[in-house]
Amino acid sequence: MVYLFENVLSINKFTIIILDIKSKMNRETFKPDSISIEGCFSKSEIGYCLKTIEDRIEKGQTEKFFRHREELEECILHDFDHTKLENTLSSLSPFKYQPYTLYRVISSRNKNFMITVFYNDITSVAHAKVSLPEINESIAEMKNNSKGFLFQTEVFQNRTSVTIKSINSAKSTVINNVIETFQKHNIFPIYMELWYIKGRDKKVKSLYIVNCTISEVIQNNELQSLHNDFERYLHRYIKPMSVFDIVGPSMVGPSSSHTAGANKIGQIARNIIKAKTKFDKAKVLSVEVKLLASFRDTGPGHYTPSAIGGGLYGLAPDHPQMIQQGDPAFLNEHGIDFDDFTASFSGYKKGTPDEELKYKNENNNNIAEIIVETESETYTITGFSIGGGNVEVRYLVNRLGTPLTGKEDFYYHNGIIVNPVEARKFDNPELIPSIVSVSKNANSKYLIPFNSFEELSQYLKKENKKLIDVVLDVEANLQGNTTEDTMLKVAEYWRVMKASVKKGIKSRELSLLKLTGKDALRINKYVKKSPLFDNIYGRATAYAVAVNEVNAKCGVIVACPTAGSCGILPGVIQAYSEIEKPERKKVLESILVSGFLGMILFNDVTTAGADYGCQAEVGVGAAMTAAALTYLEDGNAQEIVQAFILAIKNSLGLICDPVAGLVEVPCVKRNGVFASVAISASLMALSGVKSFISPDEVVLTMKEVGDKLHHDYKETAGGGLAKTRDGKAVDRAFESEVKRFFGEK
């Protein structure tokens, strides 16, 4: 901030001229010194603006708004209006190849003006006097901060200066956040400068530094509130993912995070072990799997140990033998076959709460350690299941710079894991192949042009695009899929969804401990003879329960977003399809739209009950379904987002408390009830009802609630329904199975 006041002039000529314009406009005389904007611009820095203003005054052109563009700078003067400022700043695009861009805003609310000066290339000779911010220092500070965000304040001579730094946020997000936060707090900086600095490396794609001067002393509690709001609303770039990370995978139940995700951790660990063994030439003797936190507490009920074992054995989540070959009895007898060698299996072990402490900053409760003993060492690979079947392997002994998600190839070289570019430096690194194929046509540099629901809606308006076209565009860029590929894939998922409805609705089979089964059949029978309930509500309830019953019995379903919440979307769409008979293409598109909105939400929260409670599973499932139904009913993009958010808003705080850790009670019936929530949310949105709280704020509230949710309600079966008298009775019945998994007597 030192450079900010380097060119202090008590009142410079530029200021007086602006006031002249305003005085002519408002037909009153201002005293120049009544406005405290001195020192923000020196005459030499704004030569072209000065000249333009002088010329205009000479010609009598004193209207309120004018814009002047030179090669390297652009100057815009308008009345005091935050929306105009937001639009103005958003419309100014930096040059592609310039590392620094500077936006400066001087404003006076009392005198009703704002001037924005935009420097495309601040390093050019014309602006050499402006000190450039210290980048390396800032980046070093930010890298130590897990959120990539810093907020600093200073009070000096009755003024408060606020500095906000952020890495990897999108420009529009930073601008909207800064302007809206100040506006909502009724604070109006007299001077603001916003630096955009291009990324230095793969991890720092952009750095923003915002310096603001406020002409009063802001109290500490207000500063704290500002800090919280800036931090809360600063979205990062949307993580590159696919709608099929949210709708899908097609898998053997019962849990996407604890079964499909656990399996992927096993598969990635298998590939690391194979690569490391080949490189180190050290024979693997044995492999042990240690489960921590939610994986330990509810894993056996979700077949988590078997799923990891199946993955270590090289079987994918939808392989029919995956659970059987990961069973401790099978692995104890056969060991783990790694193609070139076979290691003995040392069993599934329960980690202690103390052992979890080292992962407390990971913000994740689904943790598995794969402990490998070789002739020369014992090393640990640690994976985290982050929801909807998505995983991150974050440790090979030490924390990895980039987690392995299974979607990209990596290489192992002498104790470290590197990406393909870094691997070129080494002779003979060993490939750790991806386990999920991503098309070679994927654009790895592509950044989604919006990072929140608000930005999505602005983008659709600005580009005049349909939501479904944007969904297909994003999918094409991120995954390299053609529209035909995407439609074929979603068609296959829809086939599996319909099959699970059909199977569930007829089934008389009960689950392992007889907690669920036959309820879908009962509801369907009743619906058929009831004129009151034979409608979308009644049918959707029966079908949603049907699909979730299939899941509880380890049948094949499509996670949407998770296996625990897999019934709502197919249940409602199937009921709608029977009644309204929509075109098949429209049905497939509605599923894509539902996954796409889930993807935007997934940027802020994980869809895992173990991290954010059932609001993130059944709540999100209902929201995605509400969006799909609104799309089927020809709702516009705004109505689709509103339907989504109304369902989220009305499932806030929903806890995850599965009895005995099995995805049965309350999960199955909850799918049936939340099918109705989805339909009601869609009905409201289509009628023009809007959430009073903005969509992005609802999502952030969901995150806040999830963060504060007690550990007992995050898929640990440590409280809620799981610890009722009836729930505990099931624990006892399940005890022998749990002991069998962990090899206890």
Long-range contacts of 486-494 (CB under 8 A, 24+ apart): 486/592, 487/585, 487/588, 489/244, 490/244, 490/247, 490/588, 490/591, 490/592, 491/584, 491/588, 492/250, 493/244, 493/247, 493/248, 493/250, 493/558, 493/591, 494/587, 494/588, 494/591
If one asks whether residue 549 binds ligand SF4 (CB under 6 A), the answer comes out as no
Q: How far is the CB of 605 from ligand SF4 (least distance, A)?
A: 13
Task: Rule CB under 6 A: choose which of 76, 89, 614, 717 binds ligand SF4.
Answer: 614
Shortest separation between residue 255's beta carbon and ligand SF4, angstroms: 7
> Of the candidates 248, 635, 658, 672, which one interacts with ligand SF4 according to CB under 6 A?
658
Per CB under 6 A, 253 contacts ligand SF4? no
Q: Which of 89, 547, 618, 738 binds ligand SF4 (CB under 6 A)?
A: 618
| 656 sits near ligand SF4 (criterion: CB under 6 A) | yes
Q: Contact letters (x/-) for ligand SF4, 556-575, by CB under 6 A?
A: --------xx----------
Residue reference for tokens 């991503």 = 438
- 159 or 723: whose CB is closer to ligand SF4? 723
**Based on CB atoms, which residue is closest to ligand SF4, 617 or 639?**
617
Q: How many CB atoms lie within 10 A of CB 125?
A: 7
Q: Assign 229 to helix, strand or coil.
A: helix
Q: Report the C-alpha gap between 266 and 252 in whole angstroms.
A: 16
Q: Give the integer Cα–Cα distance in Å for 279 and 261.
A: 27
Q: Which stretch binds ligand SF4 (CB under 6 A): 87-95, 204-212, 409-417, 611-619?
A: 611-619
Number of amino acids touching ligand SF4 (CB under 6 A): 12
- The answer to whether the beta carbons of residues 366 and 294 sit under 8 Å apart is yes
Part of the chain binding ligand SF4 (CB under 6 A), chosen from 75-83, 341-349, 574-582, 662-670: 662-670
Taking the complex as a whole, the smallest distance from the CB of residue 619 to ligand SF4 amounts, in Å, to 9
Q: Are 537 and 500 in contact (CB under 8 A)?
A: no
What CA–CA distance (Å, rounded) separates 676 from 537? 6
Q: 325 or 365, CB closer to ligand SF4? A: 365
CA distance 721 to 707: 20
DSSP string, 585-599: HHHHHHHHHHHHHHH
CB 193 within 8 A of CB 109: no
Q: How far is the CB of 66 from ligand SF4 (least distance, A)?
A: 56
CA distance 64 to 77: 7
The closest of 628, 605, 609 to 617, measured between CA atoms, is 609
Q: Which residues contact 31 (CB under 8 A, 6 or more apart)?
A: none
Residue closer to ligand SF4, measured from CB, 453 or 674: 674
CB of 598 to ligand SF4, least distance (A): 15
Residue range at the interface with ligand SF4 (CB under 6 A); choices 141-149, 313-321, 375-383, 614-622: 614-622
Residues 686-715, one symbol each (x = binds ligand SF4 by CB under 6 A, - = not), give: -----------------------------x
Residue 711 beta carbon to ligand SF4: minimum distance, rounded to whole angstroms: 14
How far is Cα 52 from Cα 50, in angstroms, rounded to an integer? 5
Choose among 133, 154, 132, 130: nearest CA to 142.
133
Q: How far is the CB of 609 from ligand SF4 (least distance, A)?
A: 3
Q: Which of 275, 307, 667, 675 binds ligand SF4 (CB under 6 A)?
A: 667
Q: Which is nearer to ligand SF4, 227 or 670 (CB)?
A: 670
Give me the least distance between CB of 667 and ligand SF4, in Å please.
3
Least distance in Å: CB of 669 to ligand SF4?
10
Binding of ligand SF4 by 148 (CB under 6 A): no
> Buried b vs exposed e over 429-445: b needs ≥16 C-beta within 10 Å?
bbebebbbebeeebeee
Out of 150, 663, 678, 698, point to the residue binding ligand SF4 (CB under 6 A).
663
Which of 17-25, 186-194, 587-595, 661-669 is the region at the interface with ligand SF4 (rule: CB under 6 A)?
A: 661-669
Q: Smallest distance from the beta carbon of 325 to ligand SF4, in angstroms? A: 24
Helix axes 293-302, 304-312, angle to 10 degrees: 90
Token pair for 64: 């309120």
**Number of CB atoms found within 10 A of residue 483's CB:** 12
Identify which of residues 565 and 650 has a Cβ nearer to ligand SF4 in the complex.
565
Shortest spacing between CB 263 and ligand SF4, in angstroms: 17
CB atoms within 10 A of CB 156: 11
Return the range that interacts with ligand SF4 (CB under 6 A); candidates 409-417, 430-438, 583-591, 659-667. Answer: 659-667
Q: What pairs with residue 197 in β-bridges?
A: 100, 207
Task: Name the site residues for ligand SF4 (rule: CB under 6 A).
Answer: 564-565, 609, 614, 617-618, 656, 658, 663, 666-667, 715
